[in-house]
Amino acid sequence: MSESKALTLSKINYASLAKLAFLLATAIVSPLFFSQPITGSFVNMTLFLAVYFYGFKKEAIAVAVMPSLVAVACGQLLWALAPMVPFIMLSNLILMAVFVFIYRKYKNFLAGIMVAAFIKFVWLYATSHVLIFAVLHSAIAAKVAVMMSWPQLATAVAGGLMAYLAIKVSTSSSVKTRD
């Protein structure tokens, strides 16, 4: 029995675990910044990085749902956005799935960012207008609809570019040769 435990522990990829911990920590802390441009950009960066490193698997999916859960649990999300939480989580998964598809098919990171960001934007824009205006008949509905429109596109593109830069910097620094 002790041999099987030792074998299991030796199979742990600590670098992958540390990467996942960093992505989850960033996704969890980002909603606490109270600023949609900062929060959205960092959350989207973690989404792109998670799916780049792990593919569309459970690790990346955990990163996709965590920011919304934290925002709701901590009261950082406007009460008017509560009905949007499942749609926001789904938009994160859509962004990741589209990015993986484009990146694998065309080997173009930047095209993946742009297409995924646009589709996420369209999804949130459409669902927010249907849901928010159907549920909320108040002045806040218009403000919520704006939050679910162009800022989503901007922060998804910004987060994607931040992820691209992070990957480029990390791969260029790890390729340096010794003299």
Place of tokens 């934007």: 121
Averaged pLDDT, groups of 10, the chain, 179 residues long:
50 82 85 79 95 93 89 73 86 97 96 98 89 68 75 95 95 60
Under 8 Å CB-to-CB from 36, ≥6 apart: which residues? Answer: 147, 151, 155
What pLDDT does residue 55 have? Answer: 93
* pLDDT confidence of residue 175: 55
Give the pLDDT score at 179: 42
pLDDT for res 80: 65
Res 117: pLDDT: 98
35 touches 158 (CB < 8 A): no
Q: Confirm if 116 and 156 have CB atoms less than 8 A apart.
A: yes
Q: Any idea where the domains of the chain sit in the sequence?
A: 13-173
- pTM greater than 0.85: no
Q: Which fold has domain 13-173?
A: Arp2/3 complex 21 kDa subunit ARPC3 (1.10.1760)
Range 105-118 burial, b when 16+ CB lie within 10 A, else e = eeeebeebbbbbbe
